[in-house]
Amino acid sequence: MTETLQNPNPGNPAGESLEETLKRIEDLALEQGRQIKWFSDWTVLFSPIEDVTDAFVNKRVDEFNGKPDEIINIIKGRRERLSLSSGITNQIVSICQQILAFGAAGVALTVGFIDKIKQFSILVQKSLAVVGILYTELVFLSLLVLIWYMLQARFRYPSLYFEKIGNAWPFFYYATITPVTRAPIQTAGQRFAAAVSYAVDFAGFTEKVLKEEPKQRVRAELQQYFLLMSYQAYVHQFSLRLASMFTYGFVGAVGTAVILFAALFGGLL
């Protein structure tokens, strides 16, 4: 084990440069990462790394000699210009929903007129079969995309588990509010407990807001700014993955239909 890991207080990087802090984080990551199992609590193993990062950021904020209000305004302006959504995701989900809706209508129509299909010529019957194969593939593709979209929607970002470097307390309820129940129907005891938590949280929130120092506001603004950048990265990567999945699936389905039609009109089917 390196000397860095033997430090009894890994959360105190006083006097360390950025390079030294990054080296400390890498060493801790290597050591702690070896202990991670499939269902282990990784947040416990990450805690020393969070301590190092938190201490380094606090030290740099304390060393800042500029005007807090100026840097806060700069951070706010940049944070407001961040793009936190992707229009292509909504379009793809909407297309998949329409494909499924038309697919359901197509099934009902097919059931109603299946006995009439035999009246058509063999070529028309085979053409309808190819179209049916194409649409069946599109339906399965749409289901896959929507399932993947729901998995992405349920994804819990790593920052939600951080206690010191995740969501800044003035901006997100995770860092300020006692966890609330998701149950829409509650007993009187549950409502009472929730009311007590509200009173306790409000008292603590008031105390923190009124005692917040200028550099503490700088830290909170900086922390939330970076968290939103991290969130932006996940959102855009999720969107690209969803778009790629739909594009490749759609091209594959259409390609299959083209090949089948070529075989049909070429006399191979």
pLDDT class for 8, splitting at 50, 70, 90?
very low
Which pTM value belongs to this model? 0.77
Predicted confidence (pLDDT) at residue 166 exceeds the cutoff of 70: yes
Residue 40 in any domain: the answer is yes
- Domain membership flag for residue 17: yes
CB 164 within 8 Å of CB 50: yes
Count: domains in the chain: 1
Residue 264 has pLDDT above 80, yes or no: yes
Residue 197 lies in a domain: no
For the stretch 55-68, pLDDT in tens is 999 999 999 998 99
151 domain-assigned:
no
97 within some domain: no
In this structure, is residue 74 part of a structural domain? no
Model confidence band, residue 15 (pLDDT cutoffs 50, 70, 90) = low
What local confidence, expressed as pLDDT, does residue 129 receive? Answer: 85
User: pLDDT tens, 195-222?
Assistant: 999 999 999 999 999 999 999 999 999 9
Structural domain for 40, as ranges: 1-63
Give pLDDT, residue 219: 95
In a domain, 226, yes or no: no
Residue 42 lies in a domain: yes
